[in-house]
A and B are shown apart, each in its own frame.
Chain A
Amino acid sequence: MLYLELFIQGLLQGSIYALIAVGLTLVYGLLRILHVAHAGLYTLGGYFGVLVFNSTGSLALGGVVAMLGVGVIGVIIYRLCYEPILNQPPYVPLIASIGLFIAMEELYRILFGSYGVTYTNPPLQKMMPLGGLYLRQGEWVTMLASIVLIGGLAWLSRRTRLGLAWRATVTDPQMAESFGIDPIRVRYLNFFIGSILAGAAGMIVGILNNLVEPTMGSVPSYKALAIIVLGGLGSVRGTLVAALALGVVESFGTIYLGAVLNRDAIAFVFLILVLMVRPQGMFRGV
């Protein structure tokens, strides 16, 4: 039973990682940018969620604002911050992104206070046993939301014309352009969708922890980078598997390796080991 519970907790953590990392991998797949500031958007999603819920009492409205608001801001960040430096060597956007992330965290701290914001009337905290598993409502919602969101993404990219244009641009931007696809709009779409997922993840974590603080993005930001590298940089399917695997490895590792390594280090030991064996990540070319 302990194993099953550890496994489920790992999957839960992994599905949150997945929501954050998919956005990163989309950005990387299209533009070859390591978008560290993505985690700043995740934090912003948490803030939007908690602030809207506290002032209106509607969780749904909070969710919509968190996702769409963060989506739009993601596009603005791309337009103002990344577009002008796309032709520079890769470390330039990387450093710019890290600078942006630090500045975003500080801005949240100054605007909303360093102790974070809590839900005045915490939603979804009741225990809800289902099929022998004792989880909180919020945790069920987490699972459901990640399945719906990532399923929606898969549907969008596989079954719609928009998705076709998107995949075409990722594969061969010039060829796609000559077939009448506007690559700039595809990039906007890319950032919009990736940021929506990050916003959703931020709100979910805010509810689960009942706390949204300025630095809640720090650890996920770097861990998500590890995940997309494990997944083979740019491969969405690889990213999903890597995120879930990392969640499970961490939840078991904390129990069995906790004396030697802390939780964050386990993720990176896993990363380094996998990369030394398979330098192209777990799933490149699958």
Chain B
Amino acid sequence: MGYEISLLTAMLISIIGSLSLNLITGFCGQVSLGHVAFVGIGAYTASLLTKATTPFFAALVAGMLLAGIFGVFVGLASLRVRHDFLAITTMGVNFVFLGVVRQQDWLGGELGVSSIPDPGLGKLGFLALVFGCVVLVVLLSMQIRRSWMGYVFEAISGDEDTARMLGLDVSRYKLIAFALGTSLAGLAGGLYAHHVRFIYPDSFAFVESITILAMVVVGGNGSIWGVMLASALLSLLPQWFQFIDDYKLLLYGGLLFAVMRFSPGGLAGFAQRWFPQSQKSFTLEVDK
């Protein structure tokens, strides 16, 4: 039973991670290839704080704040560079994060941070907490989508220049998207660190950023339910594939490629093709 609970917890945490990227990439159209750096900032901050006997929830919030602050800085970059340039810049952010963390002794260097204290909620309690966070993040996403801000995000994602010409404050909303998305990533990081209770630089390697982006894109960029479904599938797949351990990554890479090649709209696009009448509820922006 313990195994299933921890599997479920890990899955829910990855849902928080991918929904947070969905705010930036899906809603606001800013492709980020370095999202796991913010998960990492949250994880390191929260775990170092709880190791210094800060209460768990305060540490979690501190991780969110710090990740959000760094996120705003990267958001500033998104005001300077766009599209492919932005994608590569955020990729760079991931590598710089890793490069810095690996060389800092007070962050544990290559060895990382171990024996992170137990939050003291019990396994089920922790699962309930993570589940509560997922519910909040989903509600927040749905709320944003319905709000004025959601429409602005959609306009920026559709055509930034036109949005600017319509008098929308593009820069401000981009920064908001980055601040929200990255601080939620920090939340996912804090939860992750206290779930596995051991983190090291490779937990936040570039491949992990790709994994999060893959969850968003495979689910259908911008579609809340699609992204959740894809995160659940992609985080559980490696577990199911244990028996073919040797071919795990081959299958994963192949799957990623195949989804993009044959259904670029992801799962949401797939559903849309099969059930065209439910179009609206699945996705807003599949093509372009």
Which positions 236-263 of chain B face chain A at CB distance < 8 Å? 246-247, 249-250, 252-261
Contact of B264 among A92, A101, A269 (CB under 8 A): A92
**Distance (Å) between the CB of B70 and the closest chain A CB?**
13
Proximity string of chain B (179-196) to chain A, C-beta cutoff 8 Å, 1 when within and 0 when not: 000000000000000000
Contact B96 A272 (CB under 8 A): yes
Task: Tell me how many residues of B have a C-beta within 8 Å of chain A.
Answer: 45
In the complex with contacts A91-B31, A272-B93, A100-B257 CB distance below 8 A:
yes
- Interface of chain A, main secondary structure: helix
- In the bound complex, what is the Cα–Cα distance between A103 and B98 (angstroms)? 24
Residue of B nearest to A80 (CB): B261
Q: Tell me if A233 is interfacial: C-beta within 8 Å of chain B.
A: yes
Contact of B96 among A90, A98, A268 (CB under 8 A): A268
Which B residues touch A184, using CB under 8 A?
none
Contact A222 B84 (CB under 8 A): no
Number of A-B contacts (CB under 8 A): 143
Q: Tell me if A209 is interfacial: C-beta within 8 Å of chain B.
A: no
**Distance (Å) between the CB of A233 and the closest chain B CB?**
7
Contact B261 A261 (CB under 8 A): no
Proximity string of chain A (250-271) to chain B, C-beta cutoff 8 Å, 1 when within and 0 when not: 0000000001111011111101
Contact B31 A265 (CB under 8 A): no
- In the bound complex, what is the Cα–Cα distance between A98 and B91 (angstroms)? 13
- Interface of chain B, main secondary structure: helix
- In the bound complex, what is the Cα–Cα distance between A104 and B253 (angstroms)? 8
Contact B98 A265 (CB under 8 A): yes
Contact A99 B254 (CB under 8 A): yes
Contact A99 B255 (CB under 8 A): yes
Which B residues touch A100, using CB under 8 A?
253, 257
**Distance (Å) between the CB of A109 and the closest chain B CB?**
8
Contact of B80 among A94, A110, A279 (CB under 8 A): A279
Q: Tell me if B125 is interfacial: C-beta within 8 Å of chain A.
A: no
Contact A34 B87 (CB under 8 A): yes
Interface hit among B99-107, B129-137, B166-174? B99-107
Contact A91 B217 (CB under 8 A): yes
Contact B288 A89 (CB under 8 A): yes
Q: Tell me if A127 is interfacial: C-beta within 8 Å of chain B.
A: no
Task: Tell me how many residues of A have a C-beta within 8 Å of chain B.
Answer: 47
**Distance (Å) between the CB of A267 and the closest chain B CB?**
8
Contact of A275 among B89, B213, B221 (CB under 8 A): B89
- In the bound complex, what is the Cα–Cα distance between A109 and B92 (angstroms)? 27
Residue of B nearest to A114 (CB): B246
Contact B92 A99 (CB under 8 A): no
Q: Tell me if B126 is interfacial: C-beta within 8 Å of chain A.
A: no
Contact A88 B91 (CB under 8 A): no
Contact B257 A81 (CB under 8 A): yes
In the complex with contacts A92-B260, A95-B260, A268-B99 CB distance below 8 A:
yes
Which A residues touch B256, using CB under 8 A?
95-96, 98-99, 102
Proximity string of chain A (75-93) to chain B, C-beta cutoff 8 Å, 1 when within and 0 when not: 0000001001100111111
In the complex with contacts A91-B87, A222-B91, A262-B99, A96-B260 CB distance below 8 A:
yes
6 shortest interchain CB distances as A-B pairs: A265-B99, A99-B256, A102-B253, A103-B253, A99-B257, A268-B92
Interface residues of A (CB under 8 A from B): 28, 32, 34, 81, 84-85, 88-96, 98-107, 110, 222, 225-226, 229, 233, 259-262, 264-269, 271-272, 275-276, 279, 281
Given pairs A95-B256, A262-B102, 18 additional interface contacts (CB within 8 A): A32-B84, A89-B264, A91-B221, A92-B217, A94-B87, A98-B253, A98-B256, A99-B254, A106-B249, A107-B250, A110-B247, A225-B88, A225-B91, A229-B85, A259-B103, A271-B89, A272-B93, A275-B89
Instruction: Report 24 cross-chain contacts, Cβ distance below 8 Å, ordered by A residue.
Output: A34-B84, A34-B88, A81-B257, A85-B260, A85-B261, A91-B213, A91-B217, A92-B217, A99-B214, A99-B253, A99-B256, A99-B258, A103-B249, A103-B254, A105-B249, A110-B250, A225-B88, A261-B99, A262-B99, A265-B99, A269-B92, A272-B92, A275-B81, A279-B81
